[in-house]
Amino acid sequence: AQKVTQAQTEISVVEKEDVTLDCVYETRDTTYYLFWYKQPPSGELVFLIRRNSFDEQNEISGRYSWNFQKSTSSFNFTITASQVVDSAVYFCALSEFGIQGAQKLVFGQGTRLTINP
Amino acid sequence: KAGVTQTPRYLIKTRGQQVTLSCSPISGHRSVSWYQQTPGQGLQFLFEYFSETQRNKGNFPGRFSGRQFSNSRSEMNVSTLELGDSALYLCATSPGGVRETQYFGPGTRLLVL
């Protein structure tokens, strides 16, 4: 069965520090997708990035970067020069596909990130 | 483009009652998925609908049901509410093809007393 583990339940850092959120996954599929979502206090899950299993290139988007390593089944997320607005719960997710294109997301337990001014 | 909308945003019910939640997808999105989020169990998949048909179902009791209309709007229903059904119910939509990103709505917070 698919499984996603986010071992860090809570992280607290001071503004401008760099912070890395860890994500480890388990799957038997050879083709799969990994996602990161951000959940601010309002509750909505905001999509951040999608990575497919064949693309191990690291990605950078502004202060955000992602490191995908298939060999260690990890998809880590780094925020550089953190800001108070980055405070949220971050979820890593793995796609599971069924018949006829049906898909569902398997989520990790989330990491609550607090950025202190 | 308008995002995913969910109504109502907040709901208080008592045990034994039933509740219906609604989700309107992003224009052009035909797949609608529902997730339940609780502090204890985290985010769990309920079901997914595409073209008015349920394509996928999670491990929830039959009290949880859903449907999708021809305009892709979806509703989920929970009958005979239990205290443990208190949760944030999130709807996510995608165009409906294979391996697409799901975009989430703001959720409906249900409190069962």
pLDDT tens string A13-46 = 999 999 999 999 999 988 899 999 999 998 999 9
Report in angstroms the alpha-carbon separations of A54 from A20, A29, A69.
23, 12, 11
Name residue B21's beta-bridge partners.
B76
pLDDT of residue A101: 66
Name the DSSP letter for residue B8. -
For A61, other C-beta atoms within 10 Å of its C-beta total: 9
**Which residues of chain B lie closer than 8 angstroms to A44, CB-CB?**
90, 104-107
CA neighbor of A80 nearest in space, from A61, A64, A57:
A64
Residue B74: closest CA among B3, B5, B10: B5
**Minimal Cα distance from A96: which residue of B?**
B99
From B43's Cα to the closest Cα of chain A, the distance in A is 6
- Which chain A positions have a beta carbon within 8 Å of B109's beta carbon? 43
Residues of chain B found within 8 Å of residue A106, distances taken between Cβ atoms: 45
CA distance A86 to B62: 39
pLDDT per residue over B7-19, tens digit each?
999 999 999 999 9
Closest C-alpha to A89, from A7, A30, A3, A11? A11
Which of A37, A47, A104 shows the shortest C-beta gap to B33?
A104
Q: If we measure between CA atoms, which residue out of A49, A43, A1 comes closest to residue A23?
A: A49
Backbone φ and ψ of A73, nearest 5°: 50, 50
What pLDDT does residue A96 have? 80
Structure tokens at B36: 């339940």
Write down the pLDDT at residue B26.
Answer: 96
Best probe of the B interface among A54, A104, A106, A112, by most B CBs < 10 A, is: A104
Confidence category of residue B93, pLDDT binned at 50, 70, 90: very high
Residue A100: predicted pLDDT: 66
Residues of A with CB under 8 A from a CB of B: 31, 33, 35, 37, 42-47, 50, 52, 91, 93, 95, 97-110
Is the confidence at residue B99, as pLDDT, over 90? no
Asked if A46 and B90 count as a contact pair (C-beta separation under 8 A), the reply is no
- Alpha-carbon gap: A101 to the closest alpha carbon of chain B (Å): 5
Measured between CB atoms, which of B35, B99, B105 is closest to A103? B99
Q: Which of A70-84, A91-105, B28-42, B43-57 has the lowest mean pLDDT?
A: A91-105
Q: Of B26, B75, B31, which Cα lies nearest the Cα of B56? A: B31
pLDDT higher than 70, residue B37: yes
Q: What's the mean pLDDT in A73-87?
A: 96
**Cβ distance A51 to A33 under 8 Å?**
yes
